[in-house]
Amino acid sequence: MTGTPAAHEALAALTLDIAREAAAYVTSARPPGRVPVAQTKSSPTDPVTEIDRATEELIRARIAAARPGDGVVGEEGEAVAGDSGVVWVVDPIDGTVNFMYGIPAFAVSIGVEIDGVVEVGCVVNAATKEEYTAVRGNGAYARTPGGEPVRLAAQAPPALSHALVGTGFNYVLATRLHQARAVTSLLEHVRDIRRGGSAALDLCALAQGRLDAYVEQGLKPWDLAAGGLVAAESGVVLAGLTGRPDERLTMAAPTALAAEYFATVRACGF
Ligand code: LIP
């Protein structure tokens, strides 16, 4: 039953409901000024706030109430195996540093895997309430508050030299320095870069035509699951250094640009 189109659409509706509720909580719970750090993780500049944790608890509670046999993999809590074949991949606040500083680019990102394949994705920018949704094989859509869903089709620039590239830098210094050197090389080949601070929103921006390409090293499954499906369903090709996108490297570009862009990224030493 979980594999039918009707089941996917029902999962998509539930995912959007949960993401909307979580995004509303994120903004309602945010105090004025800078949000205090509760703990750091991979490095002293890799923060988690109490609101990250509380938001993931809210999402997990809604999933358990609606679909008690499903598994959950989340950024802030222990993995839950489940026995339904459905696993929820959750980043309660993607762009935590942006959230801390009050930069309006932080998102609730929820992907839903069925038998190991992400079939549903939802990214809600908690600051702007822009929503991005995708069901595998049924396209990707963006919706602004009060508006109707608009189907997304990624746009390729006229040439690689005109590509606006989204990227990010890792919390771990050694990885960040490696990325900085590679981005410096890449800048010789493209228009410019933008560092938005949320992988999920960067991938949705690519789907929406606000970026032409994307590259980042160090993404976790919860950074990539939902935004990666939105991008793929808008006509974006995603790849890793030697195959599928993963933590080692995630590259993304519209089909017409992909081969040249991927070769250039590899040549720049990412
Ligand atoms: C963030 C990613 C972003 C990356 C940041 C961080 P978080 O996830 O979405 O692309 O550059 O370093 O990893 O930590 O805010 O959930």
DSSP 156: -
198 lines ligand 1 (CB under 6 A): yes
95 lines ligand 1 (CB under 6 A): yes
The three-class DSSP label of residue 44 is: coil
Name which of 14, 26, 95, 15 is nearest 56 in CA terms: 26
DSSP character string of 2-42: TTSHHHHHHHHHHHHHHHHHHHHHHHHHPPSSSPPP-EE-S
Q: Which atom of ligand 1 is nearest to the CA of 95?
A: 15
pLDDT at 148 over 80: yes
DSSP character string of 46-64: -EE-HHHHHHHHHHHHHHH
CA-CA distance, 142 to 144, in Å (whole number)? Answer: 7
Q: State percent of the chain over pLDDT 90.
A: 97
Interval between CA 246 and ligand 1 midpoint (Å)? 14
Interval between CA 176 and ligand 1 midpoint (Å)? 12
**What is the average per-residue pLDDT within 114-124?**
97
For ligand 1, atom 11, the nearest C-alpha belongs to 168
Interval between CA 4 and ligand 1 midpoint (Å)? 33
Interval between CA 71 and ligand 1 midpoint (Å)? 23
Q: What are phi and psi of 130, to 5 degrees?
A: -70, 135
Interval between CA 235 and ligand 1 midpoint (Å)? 24
70 lines ligand 1 (CB under 6 A): no
Q: What is the mean pLDDT of the chain?
A: 96
Burial bucket for residue 69 (CB in 10 Å: 0-12, 13-18, 19+):
exposed
What pLDDT does 214 receive? 98
Strand partners, 71: 87
Mind listing the pLDDT tens digit for each residue in 65-113? Answer: 999 999 999 999 999 999 999 999 999 999 999 999 999 999 999 999 9
**What is the average per-residue pLDDT within 156-174?**
97
Question: Residue 228 contacts by C-beta under 8 Å, 6 or more apart in sequence?
Answer: 111, 118, 121, 203, 238, 245, 250, 252
**What is the average per-residue pLDDT within 155-165?**
97
Question: Residue 217 contacts by C-beta under 8 Å, 6 or more apart in sequence?
Answer: 170, 175, 178, 179, 247, 248, 249, 250, 270
The three-class DSSP label of residue 68 is: coil
171 lines ligand 1 (CB under 6 A): yes
199's torsion region: left (phi>0), alpha (psi -120 to 50) or beta? alpha
Mind listing the pLDDT tens digit for each residue in 59-78? Answer: 999 999 999 999 999 999 99
Strand partners, 90: 74, 110
What pLDDT does 2 receive? 64
Cβ pair 266, 245 in contact under 8 A: no
pTM: 0.97
Interval between CA 45 and ligand 1 midpoint (Å)? 11
Q: Which atom of ligand 1 is nearest to the CA of 196?
A: 10
DSSP character string of 112-130: EEETTEEEEEEEEETTT--
Q: Which residue has the tokens 């703990």?
A: 39
What pLDDT does 151 receive? 98
The three-class DSSP label of residue 74 is: strand
CA-CA distance, 160 to 261, in Å (whole number)? Answer: 7
pLDDT at 129 over 90: yes
